[in-house]
Amino acid sequence: MDYIHLNDLEFYGFHGALPEETKLGQIFKVTVTLACDLKKAGETDNLNETVNYAEVFELCKQIVEGRPYLLIEAVAEKIASRILEEYKEKVSGCRIHLVKPNPPIIGHYTSVAVDITRGTI
């Protein structure tokens, strides 16, 4: 199995369970791993034989910067399901790592994150 990684995509969204999160918004970081066969793309150097990274970036952007969700789990799930739906011919599975760097939690921490895997990866 081959993989495409889109690392630390950064977007501004309004997700969260607390009122200030949905009012003020915050930065979210997304890393996407796509399981796919890259052999033909590597042999032919043809963009049509792989997954267009720019399109995946825009898909993630639309979801993270779109309608607010209470949970980052829901944001990650929406990204994964859209990727698998739109690229079902090329992607057998995906892993979404979604980071919320500054949730309004009192205490010392770097960030909170979820990691979900859907399909075969």
pLDDT of the residue at 109: 87
For residue 58, give the 3-state DSSP assignment.
helix
Does the annotation mark 88 as catalytic? no
**CATH of the domain spanning 2-119:** 3.30.1130.10
The amino acid present at 22, given as its one-letter code, is: T
User: What are the pLDDT digits (tens) for 39-97?
Assistant: 999 999 999 999 999 999 999 999 999 999 999 999 999 999 999 999 999 999 999 99
pLDDT of the residue at 67: 97
For residue 107, give the 3-state DSSP assignment.
coil
This prediction's pTM = 0.95
User: What are the pLDDT digits (tens) for 84-111?
Assistant: 999 999 999 999 999 999 888 888 888 9
The b-or-e profile of 76-106 (16+ CB within 10 A means b, else e) is: bbbbbebbbeebeebbebbbbbbbbeeeeee
pLDDT of the residue at 103: 84
pLDDT of the residue at 10: 98
pLDDT of the residue at 16: 95
Catalytic annotation, pick one of 29, 61, 78, 100:
100
pLDDT of the residue at 88: 96
User: What are the pLDDT digits (tens) for 13-36?
Assistant: 999 999 999 999 999 999 999 999
